[in-house]
Amino acid sequence: SWIDAVRSWTAQVSPLIAPDGTRDRTTEWLAFQTIVGAWPISPERMTRYLIKATREAKIHTSWLRADTEYELAIAAFVDNLYFNPDLMQEIEEYVDSLDPSFVTNCLGQRAVQLLMPGVPDIYRGCETVSLRLVDPDNRVPLDDAELQETSVRSEQTQLDPYRDLAAAKLRLTREGLLLRQRHREQLGRTSTYQPLVVRGSAEEYIVGFIRSDSIACVASRFAGSLEPEQLDDTQLSLDGQWRNVLTGQELDAGNDARLTVSEVLGNWPVALLERVKPS
């Protein structure tokens, strides 16, 4: 678990001492959250971020009354982290263990954002995966060449989101926006929203809804505890024929007006469906 991991990591580094002489466990906790969430992150970025965050917290230092000694202690704490190869290996392995959940959450949030009621607000650069911190990364210019390369990869027919999440998120963003463009009226002020009925052993892991009986969104969650075979015995109440715009797969609900989650999702944790033909 996360708490067990942090306990192990804090035992392997020299403590960060606050100006009052106590251990600053709050900032240590923030440091471990940041290193995992923004991995891989350089020690320079980590130090700048922690100093900025603690100054804005105004507990031990601030922009107007910077405590140089405390901020030097933050830099030393970060150095202790990064110059401990066993600890860094342990953190990297922990991050790797979270990868399936990260892929699921990253694509699931974007899929729901694209088709839920309202207008999706997508920041520049966030068409794909962005692990930039609010500061100091908010002033870093976008890498247009990298975005172009990612765009090319996103066009691949057999795209595996678990191997190339950046390209998968870009495809999801592009296809979702094109879907919105094709169905402006069905997503406008008079549009409707209907939750999808899910039945089966994985029903608590699946989120889905239909907009104006024309397009549908299906997303999975809690990937860390979801067994793949659970998707085979879990069904969605969908009638008629649909096309998954992410994979191009055609789906026919047949007379039962049901589709298994596994056939809807394929090798993706999400699906954007466009109705081809009603039942």
Residues 12-57 pLDDT 10s: 999 999 999 999 999 999 999 999 999 999 999 999 999 999 999 9
Task: Tell me the C-alpha to C-alpha distance, in Å, between residue 209 and each of 48, 116, 212.
Answer: 42, 8, 10
Q: Which of 256, 258, 251 is nearest to 272 (CA)?
A: 251
Put residue 29 in one of left, alpha, beta given phi > 0 → left and psi -120 to 50 → alpha: alpha
269 CB-contact burial (10 Å; exposed 0-12 / middle 13-18 / buried 19+): buried
Put residue 70 in one of left, alpha, beta given phi > 0 → left and psi -120 to 50 → alpha: alpha
Token couple for 123? 């920041």
- Rounded CA-CA distance 38/78 in Å is 15
pLDDT of 162 reads 95
Regions of the chain where pLDDT drops below 50: none
Q: Which of 102, 76, 78, 88 is nearest to 8 (CA)?
A: 88
- Rounded CA-CA distance 87/11 in Å is 10
What single-letter DSSP state applies at residue 23? B
Tell me the whole-structure pTM to 2 decimals.
0.91
Q: Which of 262, 169, 259 is nearest to 210 (CA)?
A: 259
What single-letter DSSP state applies at residue 222? -
In contact, 96 and 224? CB cutoff 8 Å: no
- Rounded CA-CA distance 261/139 in Å is 42
- Rounded CA-CA distance 136/128 in Å is 20
> Could you count the other beta carbons within 10 Å of the beta carbon of residue 242?
23
234 CB-contact burial (10 Å; exposed 0-12 / middle 13-18 / buried 19+): buried
In contact, 36 and 91? CB cutoff 8 Å: yes
- Rounded CA-CA distance 89/14 in Å is 17
Task: Tell me the C-alpha to C-alpha distance, in Å, between residue 147 and each of 142, 154, 171, 199, 260.
Answer: 8, 10, 12, 39, 35
**274 strand-pairing partners:** 215, 243
Angle, to 10 degrees, between the axis of helix 68-82 and the axis of helix 85-97?
80
